[in-house]
Structure 1
Amino acid sequence: MSSSRRNSQDGNTESGQRRGSTSRRPNLIEFVDSQDPNVRSAIQRHTAYHSAAQRRDARSRLLRRSSQTRYLEWGRRPSQNTEVTPATSSTSSASSVSRSPVPSGSERPQPPSRESSGQTEQESETSTSLSETISNSGTAPVVGPGISDEESILQFYRSTFCQHSSSKDVFNSAIAYILEHDAARHLLLAYSYAMRWRLQASPETVQDQVEAQSHLGRGTNILWNRLRMPGHASSDSNIEAVLLLLAYTADFGQSSEIRLHADALRTMIDQRGGLESFGHNPALQQQLWTIERSRKFHLTLGCDAPCTSPLRFPEGLRLRPPPEES
């Protein structure tokens, strides 16, 4: 009896193993001919699909990150019915300035709205002249192997700077000084990308908008941290960064923020003793002297008389104290 029971169990086990082996599909490796046009087309479609998905994900992450509000150390936005008064202590070096939100990545950078059609026509002429400069010199500057994206965009900005400007030495010295400091460097890159996006806006160049927002956020964050350092709130590098932030806001940002950044810059200069106290730094001092009469889309610089670009601050910026009455 026991022998027959064991034989029956062994038979059931063997039949179960046979059923299991027949129900499982063997692991097969199928080799395909990569030279087959159909196979190559399928591989290319598959690769392109995943590459596009990765680019979309990366772009979405940058846009979400750049749309987050960043707070500057120099205070809160005053209520609209409250007069703005300059701060006197270094810890509140620009208390007249509010938080500085980074513009949404879904919006194309736009210059502040104009109150007169004459200024709008001037801006149109400026855009046309800048576009002609690009078309005359080709498109973007030729970029050789090994040149980084930052060097490429800076080459583009240098080559498309206003053709009416004859003060190349002032321009080059300003760029050289800006590149020495992280916050100012990122804000310069943000300005350069926003400028290229303005001149060559198209679905193919939307990445310029993303890069502008990304560098603006980085520069603002670095500036925020530097302003928290005791005794360094009104340092040369911080003043340069605020100067660039003011120019970016006036040309591509929100017009409601211009006065706030201007008040911050004025307070920082006053804490240092006025514009005359920057004689040790000619590159920065020249920008501070010029910003009051600077022109739109000229970074922190002015231009020569034939330039058709409108003044950035037609009503003045008033960084210098008014002359004393005799």
Structure 2
Amino acid sequence: VTEGKQDLERASQLSRKMKKEATVLSEWLSATEAELVQKSTSEGVIGDLDTEISWAKSILKDLEKRKADLNAITESSAALQHLVSDSESVLEENLCTLNAGWSRVRTWTEDWCNTLLNHQNQLEIFDGHVAHISTWLYQAEALLDEIEKKPASKQEEIVKRLLSELDDVNLQVENVREQAIVLMNARGSASRELVEPKLAELNRNFEKVSQHINSTQMLIGQDSSSYQCFGPAGTVEGTGPFSDLESLENDIENMLKVVDKHLDSSNDEEKMDEERTQIEDVLRRGEHLLHEPMEDSKREKIRLQLLLLHTRYNKVKV
């Protein structure tokens, strides 16, 4: 009787201990599973990716500790089955529920952690592509800012190279845009907040540099056409790489000489017709250049020269 009573007390203590441990484990598994479901199914859950990854890894570590608790409960269950007859089915069912819960949480956590790590990897790839393109844009902008200091032949070489590289960069930007769309759609608003500002800045910088390259190409084209200036007799002769302003001043001076010559000799109408286009071209270029940034004194000088040329040209036309 005494031995039976001791077994009963031992069984009672073991049952209370096992029930307490099983309750703690079951509640932790249920709470963790609910949080995992909420995180993995809600839009915009990835606020701080590093924090989320750290949380998932901590759950995986906790699961290993909880596995030890589960093993202890399993041992207690086996001992209790030995002490209490006909308790096997109930105890085994409880153990089965706990094991299934532990395995389910383990699977959920591993999947969630892998999802986070994959998303982090995709973001790093995206950031790498953005950084690569941004570096090229920065270097291209620096080259364009300094291009006026280069010889004409070097300017053309730089622009030609940048235009060639721009085609490749354009393809890279398109790929980054597609990647950004995938990332923004993958995790909802949280990913959009991470990716969209970077994409917007990249688009702005790419558009800015593209326009800078194209406008520089146009300016160089204009400069190369103005390398030829009008000679004293109104004929075109090569004079070397003048700046727009220097070229215009030289052309105005030459055209004034041409007009003065025709004012002194009114019988050369046929020759004047040939030079009319040249004079009008100089006047047009001058009007255009007056709208470009320059010193006020230089602008006033050009304006007066153009006015003088225009006045004398009108006298010749009469």
Tell me if TM exceeds 0.5: no
TM-score normalised per structure 1: 0.24
* Structure richer in helix, relative to its length: 2
Work out which structure has the larger RCO, using CA pairs closer than 8 Å and 6 or more positions apart in sequence.
Answer: 1
Radius of gyration: which is bigger? 2
TM-score normalised per structure 2: 0.24
